Amino acid sequence: MKLFSEKKLPEILHISTACQSRLFTIQTVELKFSNGIHRTYERFKPSGRAAVMVLPIDGDDLLMVREYAVGTEHYELGFCKGGMEQGETPEQSANRELQEELGLGAKQFIHLRTVYSNPTFMKNTMHILIAQDFYSSKLDGDEPEPLEIVRFPLNKLDELINKHEFGESRNLVAIYSLRDYLNKL
């Protein structure tokens, strides 16, 4: 079974800035496909900055956070996550995010997988890691209010998957990856 196409990539004819905000640049990309069809797409300007999502496992529980998400305009249940700083490995970035959001550092990390948030519109990679073996360590983060820490039993992952406040696609990919990993142990 062939997973990747050997099809010729479209030719990029022109890239321009359509819109600029404090956080994002939206680009217009004019393409010519191998069959001669021209199309114009919009995308977030590739930043080259990756991110991490951390699934902290403490005994038989996942340590999660509940924080406000302006996109959905309510509190969401999810995992520690954030952008990687220049020169950081995914493990270093994951450890920093844990310290900023949970007040814990971890001695052990297991890489589950790397995903793209939405490859149609952006090229941002996110590394999903399990963290274990914790120690107390607090760093100042960029959260506007203290995050609520929620312990969730590992033996109830199916319940978590069906919770309304746990609907972000990256969280679901992470939890399915974790479930597959745990089933192989």
Q: Compute the distance between CA of residue 152 and CA of residue 158 in angstroms, rounded to an integer.
A: 11
The DSSP bridge pattern shows strands 38-44 and 51-58 to be unpaired
What number is the average pLDDT over the span 156-185?
A: 92
CA distance 61 to 119: 32
Residues of the chain with pLDDT > 70, as a percent, come to: 95
Q: What is the mean pLDDT of residues 90-94?
A: 97
More confident position, 100 or 72: 100
Q: 51: number of CA atoms within 13 Å, CB side? A: 15
pTM of the model: 0.83
The tens digit of pLDDT for each residue in 9-30 reads 889 999 999 999 887 888 899 9
**pLDDT exceeds 80 at position 119:** no
